[in-house]
Structure 1
Amino acid sequence: MRHAGAMLRINEISYSVAGRVLIDHASVTIPDGHKVGIVGRNGTGKTTLFRLIRGELALEGGEISLPSRARIGGVAQEVPGNEVSLIDTVLAADTERAELLAESETATAAGRISDIQTRLADIDAWSAEGRASNILKGLGFTDAEQRMPCSAFSGGWRMRVALAGVLFAQPDLLLLDEPTNYLDLEGALWLESYLARYPHTVLIVSHDRELLNRAVGSILHLEDKKLTLYQGGYETFAETRAARLAAAESEARKQDARRAHLQSFVDRFRAKASKAVQAQSRLKMIAKLKPITTPQEAALKRFTFPEPEELSPPIIRVENGVVGYDGKPVLSRLDLRIDQDDRIALLGRNGEGKSTLSKLLSGRLELMQGRITKASKLRVGFFAQHQVDELHIDETPIDHIRRLRPTETPARLRARLGGFGIGAEQAETLVGRLSGGQKARLSLMLATIDAPHMLILDEPTNHLDIESREALVEALTTYTGAVILVSHDMHLLSLVADRLWLVKDGNVAPYEGDLESYRAMLLSSDKPAKAAKTAESSKPAKVKKPSRDAVLALKKDAKNCEQRIEKLSEMKTRVAAKLADPAIYDDIHGLKEWQKKFAEIERALTLAETLWMEALERLETAES
């Protein structure tokens, strides 16, 4: 066997940094082959734990033990920007295979040649290039790109190559520290699927809830200098941990308000449905939502986006647009409309044009052909990772904001920073000494300081911990501007976006399915057609009873319909209030637009209610 039976034993370990105790007499045992997600607030020592396991840091007490032959692997840094091709770089990561192939060219003894060939066969060396290519493809590299030198790619892409190399080498203990931070949604979904079937032990530090729900079987929580292992994915962990925390009064009030709102929703449709008992499932779901942080923790995590004034719809309209670079189109036949209450997620593989579309909408790229119409007072905020990297490391957050608001008092500037969870002490700290999450908060504050009517967010959750991501969801929910979102975080997308645009084959079109169907489509497209065919042919001719998965799918369908009705009802209330304002009748053009929007919402609401009733009936039939 090539792999030792890796089991990780951590026994009473302690470690401090500059006199501050990070880990104190902590213990845990990870059985062979287990997939474990490591969670904990930023700064608690998750990355330090990895360095202790690898032996890069010396323990102050206790011991960490692994089987003697166990190989540990992880991504320390990007691969060098040299002239070696991507595929060869990944193949070289399996050092045993590389050494055996090199020796096979020089070995002369018949016995040794035989041993080498036997060992190469044992480790499946001849199919290695296909395996390496599949991993690179899953992480976003085309066949042609795999033959290109590493020097042709930027640092973020070379990190993907380094990740591909580690996955290909298949260490007994795989240590991954926030791997999705340099992946897009498609790459993150592929990795999630790959890790779930990885044949050895995996420890992954992540703040991505969906990854922690799907790819791991247990959660290791680093809190109060101790390690606690919870069985199940992240949602199970959150529920179990919440049960250990005292119920906060403010949380109880919030849930009571939610229940009252949902109950009125259920009552509204009780008369219409033959049996609307299923609508109660929504109440049960909300009842399960337990606080995962104390109120003190939550207060430190807030985001407060300034509110823009309301503009007449649409705020952006693109007709027969063509956009690209140096006269070469990237996207064509663009026919897009954005209103101020839109929440749009951009889907599509890397290189299809999501960034190009973002640049067009933010005004950093002009149309080559066609027409774009924007509301005259439209302000657009833009956040992307490169802006975090462009902060001045030798200045404080106060310095950054003072440059944009030179006449405001220091107290007002600190209040602005406080609204994004940057406290008084951090406000006066050099940016170079802030954590990644604190820098991201500063960049978000700078991007929204002018109260934009539309906010374009490109991977906003990188470096944000789970509580901060929840706070971002809350802030985006209450924000009254449009949101254009590119993210690998399925949890964020599912809670924020109510429209999906697929950027593919040079075009942008509404994606008719939901995120789950997009995920299923991506993962199925990576499987061989033969396997799909076999699965199809093996289906029974007659199904007597719907499967559990089919019932779950029907429940999800009903829930989606219900959420759509809620959203449309809220929109209808807002637009009705606008039409009730006498001031709007001074602007005939604006009035017509609002009346048109109101009619559209009413039509959509009628359709949504019909679809909901049909979904409930299908669910009733399946369950009975």
Structure 2
Amino acid sequence: MEVTGLTYALPDGRRVLNDVSFTLGEGVTAGLAGPNGAGRIALLRLIAGDLTPTSGKIASKGGIGYLSRSGDSSSAERDRLSLEALLQGPDGVLLLDGPDEHLDVRGKEWLEDRFRSSRKTILLTSRDRQLLANAASRIIAVEEREVWVHEGGYATFADARLARAPFGRENETFRPEASGSPRSVLRALRRVLRDDRTRTRAGERALTGRGLRLPGLTTAFDLTVRLGDRIAICGADGPAKSLFRRLLDESGRPDDAVPSFDGTVELGERVTPGSLTRDPADAGLAGRSVADLLTGLGHDDATAVLTRYGLEPARERRYEDLSDGERAGLNVLLLELAEVNLLLLDEPTGRLDPSGADTFQRCLRGFPGAVLAITGDRWLAGDFTRFLHFAADGQVREATWGPE
């Protein structure tokens, strides 16, 4: 398949894609990456013939099969049948928008195997970075109305993207739930970084749970969390994992806010839990640069903490101009500075595109406290060292690996 000089503009004249060119060889599987709104889906639809380009040419060998992202609650079995039909069908080029959207981990692994054994030319989008890494031999990146090709797989894509331009531009707002107002954050900045009594000490006990049981959902289990732990909460779909996260997050709040449970939860001394929540409000951060939010630290201390989180290149940018991943990462930083050292996350990369998820994951590595995250993101789970598995039969146990 060959795309040459492809330009696509909206009826009002705004360009979505500008003079895009790339080639995919026969039998190549490529992942389509880039920030939300950059034009990935428009590119797929142009190649499929659903949209008419303003200018440029698209040539392919054999027919084109197109699977669009389903907006309904399509079943995994139905998706597998549709994919199998395309993979065994006559079309030489397949365009797949989120083909794994309704598949569990085993279904994704089946799809990866089918892609690797296929002789068709495949261009696909997916939020699952592990699937892109396992199945795609190259990445077609759509950014700023242009396209560039990374000849390696997804494992090296994030570094290649950073080498070209350190930060993308996605657009979703996150705010810290437990850190209070920006003014209270600023009051805490210097104290948190300079007072040894409040610094996070890896290995100290952050939380102890004994005989924990969510009635009707889980059997009893014990859990010890130490500062510095990275624990992924994974397993069967259902309310148990989210209720468990809420139980930990709200353990120090009024009883009526805590989900019903049996057993005991004890926070360690000087341990403060906190989490990120998506909210359209900017919590007073809009219009302020990253540097302005860290004024109370002084230049050298701000540089040190921004470098640790991988956010130093974004120092002078306003909060609303940050990407999704950058905002999420900055809010983790602000939670740390507000003395949160037990971070509780619920599918933190679930609504981020792969580029934003890469940015957030890089930022999360800078958080020195304990992290407990509900996640089905296999790529993110690779950064975790412990896995708490909630099984469909209600059993909760530590596992050797994460999402299943």
Q: Give the alignment's TM-score, normalised by structure 1.
A: 0.47
SS in 1 for 2:44: helix
Cα distance change on mapping 1:75 and 1:412 into 2, 3 Å: closer
Q: Shift in Å at residue 506 of structure 1?
A: 1.9
Taking structure 1 as reference, are residues 472 and 199 closer, same or farther at Cα in structure 2, changes over 3 Å only?
same
2:3 is matched by which residue type in structure 1? I
Q: CA deviation at 1:411?
A: 7.2
Alignment equivalent of 1:482, drawn from 370, 374, 378: 370
Residue 12 (structure 2) pairs with residue 10 (structure 1): no
1:415 matched to 2:308? The reply is no
In structure 2, give the amino acid aligned to 1:167. Answer: L
Is it true that 1:73 corresponds to 2:48 in the alignment?
A: no
- Distance change (3 Å), C-alpha of 1:381 and 1:466: same
Secondary structure of the equivalent of 1:332? Answer: coil
Q: Deviations over 1:295-336 (max 9, x none)?
A: 8625989x9998664489422211122213xxx2x1222111
Change (3 A) 1:341 1:224: closer
Aligned to 2:224: 337
**Contact kept in structure 2, 1:40 and 1:221, CA below 8 Å:** yes
Mean CA deviation greater in 474-483 or 41-50:
41-50
**1:507–1:192 distance in 2 versus 1, CA, 3 Å:** same
Match of 1:293 in 2: 162
Identity of matched residues, %: 25
RMSD of aligned residue pairs (Cα, Å): 4.4
Residue identity opposite 2:205 in structure 1: P
Q: Are 1:186 and 1:349, in contact at CA under 8 Å, matched by a contact in 2? A: no
CA contact (8 A) 1:422 1:442 kept: no
Secondary structure of the residue aligned to 1:315 is strand
Q: Among residues 284, 298, 303, which one is paired with 1:401 in the alignment?
A: 284
Contact 2:21/2:147 (<8 A) preserved: yes
2:262 aligns with one of 369, 372, 382:
369
Matches of 2:167 and 2:290 in 1, distance apart? Answer: 22
Greater relative CO (CA pairs within 8 A, separation 6+):
2
Offset at residue 234 of structure 1 (A):
2.4
In structure 2, C-alpha distance between the alignment counterparts of 1:189 and 1:166, rounded to whole Å:
16
Match of 2:345 among 437, 457, 478: 457
1:201-220 matches, within 5 Å, as: 201-206=121-126, 208-220=128-140
The equivalent residue for 2:274 is: 381
Considering fraction of residues, name the structure with more helix. 1
What is the 5 A alignment of 1:119-268?
A: 135-136=76-77, 163-164=79-80, 166-167=82-83, 169-170=85-86, 172=91, 173-178=93-98, 188-189=108-109, 191-197=111-117, 200-206=120-126, 208-222=128-142, 226-235=146-155
CA distance in 2, matches of 1:423, 1:465: 24
Contact 1:26 1:226 in 2 (8 A): yes
- Residue 275 of structure 1 corresponds to none
1:28 aligns with 2:18: no
Query: Quick one: structure 1 residues 22 and 188, their matched pair in 2 at CA, closer, same or farther if it must change by over 3 Å?
Result: same
List aligned pairs for 1:450-529, cutoff 5 A: 450-464=338-352, 466=354, 468-494=356-382, 496-504=383-391, 505-511=393-399, 513=400, 515=401
Distance 1:167 1:443 in 2: 39
- Give the counterpart letter for 1:478 in structure 2: G
Letter in 2 for 1:357: F
Q: Given that residues 14 and 62 in structure 1 are in contact (C-alpha distance below 8 angstroms), is that contact kept between their aligned partners in structure 2?
A: yes
Identify the residue that residue 259 of structure 1 maps to in structure 2.
none
Q: Tell me, what secondary structure is at the counterpart of 2:214?
A: strand
User: 2:238 aligned with 1:322, yes or no?
Assistant: no
State the distance in 2 between where 1:452 and 1:12 align: 50
- The reply on whether 1:58 has 2:52 as its aligned counterpart is yes
The higher radius of gyration belongs to: 1
Query: In the TM superposition, what is the alpha-carbon distance from 1:62 to its structure 2 partner?
Result: 1.4
Task: Check conservation: 2:19, 2:56, Cα contact below 8 A.
Answer: yes
Aligned residues between the structures: 354
Instruction: Quote the Cα distance in structure 2 between the aligned partners of 1:25 and 1:292.
Output: 20
Structure 1: gaps of 5 or more residues: 1-7, 80-85, 91-134, 137-160, 239-289, 404-408, 523-624
Q: Is the 8 A contact 1:176 1:204 kept in 2?
A: yes
The Cα shift of 1:201 comes to 3.8
Q: Assess if the C-alpha contact under 8 Å between 1:401 and 1:446 holds in 2.
A: no
Amino acid across the alignment from 2:138: S
Counterpart of 2:33 in structure 1 is 39
Structure 1 residues 464 and 368, CA gap change in structure 2 (3 angstroms): closer
Match of 1:13, SS? Answer: strand
